[in-house]
Structures are given as structure tokens and as C-alpha cells.
Amino acid sequence: MNCARCDKPIKGTSETIPIHSASGAAEVVVHPVHCPASRKQTAPDGPVR
């Protein structure tokens, strides 16, 4: 099982957090201690053609 924040495997205990979105309610599994979020590109890099 991978952490929803950092996408690394969870070894040992985990924490389940409820989330609410337009698609409906769900629960995600994360590390019990805060971990940094993985880097993701959120906007195009450069001019749009």
C-alpha cells in the first residue's frame, strides 16, 4: 500500500484520512507522521501551441 501524499510504500502503521470531493466522499491512506508531497507539474511549462 502506498501513501497518498508521497506515493512511497507504507511499512507498519498507517492513518486513514477522509476526503470530500465533487466525485463523492472517500478515504485515503497516509503515513502517520507528516511526509512531503511528491512534486507534480500543475501547469504547462512554456508557451501553448
Q: Cα(7)–Cα(26) distance, rounded to whole angstroms?
A: 17
Q: Which stretches of the chain are assigned E, i.e. beta strand?
A: 15-21, 24-30
Q: What is the pLDDT of residue 15?
A: 93
> What's the longest Cα–Cα distance across the chain?
47
- Specify the pLDDT at position 36: 76
User: pLDDT tens digit string along 24-48?
Assistant: 888 999 999 888 766 766 666 666 6
9-23 pLDDT, tens digit per residue, is 999 999 999 988 788
The pTM of this model reads 0.60
pLDDT beyond 70 at 8: yes
Cell 501551441 found at? 49
Angle at 24 between CA 14 and CA 9, to 5 degrees: 25
Q: What per-residue string of b and e applies to 34-46 under the rule 16 or more CB within 10 Å gives b?
A: eeeeeeeeeeeee
